A = this chain, B = another copy of it.
Amino acid sequence: VVVDLLGLLAYGDLVAFQRMAADATLAPDLARRALLCEMAGVEIVHFRRVADRLTAVGADVVAAMTPFRSALDDYHEQTEPSSWLEALTKAYVGDSLADDFVREVADALRPADRHLLEDLRRDSPYARFAADEIRAALADDPPSADRLSMWARRVVGEAISQAQRVAAQRLSLVRTLVGGDQLVPAVLTRLTTAHTSRMSTVGLNN
């Protein structure tokens, strides 16, 4: 089961890396573009750490990632940002949700894996940067909040729909990690509450 989770994280880091490198071309200036590229660089370092852990537990990295390819690829294909602010909002909303999910499941893991996950979480500067940029942009142009809120809801909707697809296919992963089917609603409630408060923090509506 830990191989499933690490495989999911490894592929998530890889696509996050490529997505941020691509998003950087939407940056309004060279300073922000370079900053986003450097933040992407953090993701590929995460990938390497998760991949090394997979190798250490005797798993094949590519085989571990493969079950999660289509869900993550579809998510990103369905939520291709068309502007810098859309890219940041997607990162802020989606990556934070993914981080919360990782925190929920980390408790169920052995110390070595739990510490790795906690380490990687703390080391993600993109969400904070994105929040600051979104807040500043909405302060400059308050009417754009409606359009951007709609975009954020679309991103979250797509994330939930792909997460359900993964959960249905890898039921054992979900059961072990959250302690049985009964706990799933409680986890979802916690994730939703945190998401709702993140939206209002930067001035977006649910």
Contacts and interface: CB of A to CB of B under 8 A. Distances in A.
Interface of A: 14, 17-18, 21-22, 24-25, 29-31, 33-34, 37-38, 40-41, 44-45, 47-48, 51, 61-62, 65-66, 69
A34 B61 contact: yes
Residue among A17, A31, A61 with most chain B CB within 10 A:
A17
A47 B34 contact: yes
A35 to B, nearest CB: 11
Contact of A17 (B37, B47, B51, B65): B37
A25 B17 CA distance: 12
A30 B63 CA distance: 9
B24 A18 contact: yes
* Copies of this chain present: 2
Nearest to A61: B34
A40 B44 contact: yes
Nearest to A45: B41
A37 B14 contact: yes
B25 A18 contact: yes
Contact of A38 (B24, B25, B47, B69): B47
A18 to B, nearest CB: 5
Residue among A29, A31, A37, A40 with most chain B CB within 10 A:
A37
Contact of A34 (B29, B37, B45, B51): B51
A170 B203 CA distance: 47
Contacts of A37: 14, 17-18, 44, 47
Contacts of A24: 18
A100 B74 CA distance: 41
A10 B69 CA distance: 33
A161 to B, nearest CB: 23
Nearest to A31: B62
